[in-house]
Amino acid sequence: MGTTITIFSTRGGSGKTITSVSLASTLSKMGYKVIIIDGDLEAPSLIHLIKPQKPVADLNYWTDYLGAKNLKVEDIINPTKLSNLSIIYSSPPEIGKSFLSKNSQRWWQNALRKSLTTQKKLYEIGYDFIIIDNQSGTSLNSVNNMILADVSLLVVRPASYGVGAAEVFIQEMHSLLKGMKPRKDFFVWNQVPVTDNPEEKTLLNHFLSKWDVKIEELGIEVATVIPFDHMLNLQLLNEITNEIFSLTISMNSSMLEIVDRILKYQNQQKRNGN
């Protein structure tokens, strides 16, 4: 039985996709068989970071699959340059958005049922980790993706308004997910300013430690602090982004810290018989 990790945030631009890809490539380089699902129907960006190896016109998307009876899970799995990392892409944003606004509650209920069945199939195929790059916010789509999670990673950039929203979000989401199945929730500070200025350092440390206490009180473990990466941010300004595998190198120490915590949790669950 594998592990599903859902990466989420309260707002866009927090770095979910980069974190998803970095985590996925780190795990796959460690020898695990990994698949990433682009579950962000509103702003799917995985396709820009890891290019499909076949023409876009030939792709079957996650969105096609959720609503179609004639597609098998194998039809939507795409290989990458890493032999044990696969991807399920999401459709272009205009289609994804219409999915979100047009589909009825009943449709999303069926999508949840299908996602749960698919999760099982992906484990049967042999994937050790399913990583879901989730949509931000609390749409039925993002809640469905959270239900699949054995481990969640809430990615937040340090800004008082961002963390305030995250606090409310966590409480709301947890009341729904409470008692559903064993799950470990982690928190990731992303793109944290790096400074040598003593006053700025004090401001930053005061902010982080205040929120670390609040977040841990909500039952979430702070997994890592990813420092602001100048080169990564500059590379993202390119129209054609380099293969993400080159971008992940600078984030490796943070990713290894996250992976270490996830594996420890996984072992603990195995010992508990879950």
Partner 1 sequence: MNMVQYLEDVVAILNLESSGPNFYHNLNSELFDIQAKMLYASRAIILCGLANQRSPEKELQGPVPVTELSSSPYSFYYFQLRPHLKGLQNIHLVIGLIFKTMNKKKFKPIEDELEAILISSFESLDFSLISPESADPKLKEQLNQIFENIFVEINSLLESSNSEKSIFNLGFLVNLSGDESKLAKKLMLFPDGLLLNTLSIDEQNTLNLLEQKGLIEKHESDEGIVIIPQ
Q: From the CB of 59, what's the least distance to partner 1, in Å?
A: 19
- Considering the complex, state which of residue 88 and residue 111 has its C-beta at the smaller distance from partner 1: 111
- In angstroms, what is the minimal distance from the CB of 27 to partner 1? 23
- The smaller minimum CB distance to partner 1, of residues 168 and 176, is found at 176
Q: Are the beta carbons of 91 and 44 closer than 8 angstroms? A: yes
Write the binding mask 101 to 120 for partner 1: x where contact by CB under 8 A, - elsewhere.
xxxxxxx-xx-xxx-xx--x
Smallest gap from Cβ 177 to partner 1, in A, equals: 8
Residue 136 makes CB contacts below 8 A (sequence gap 6+) with 8, 9, 10, 11, 12, 14, 16, 40, 42, 142
- Rounded CA gap, 80 and 59, in Å? 14
Q: Closest CB to partner 1 among 159 and 176?
A: 176
* Residue 274 near partner 1 by CB under 8 A: no
**How many angstroms separate the Cα of 249 from the Cα of each of 22, 26, 245?**
8, 9, 7
Whether the CB-CB separation of 48 and 150 falls below 8 Å is answered with no
CB of 116 to partner 1, least distance (A): 5
Of residues 137-156, which lie at the interface with partner 1 (CB under 8 A)? 140, 143, 147
d(CA 197, CA 70): 59
Does residue 273 touch partner 1 according to CB under 8 A? no
Closest CA relative to residue 227, chosen from 191, 257, 263, 199: 191
Which positions lie near partner 1, rule CB under 8 A? Answer: 98, 101-107, 109-110, 112-114, 116-117, 120, 140, 143, 147, 175-176, 179-181
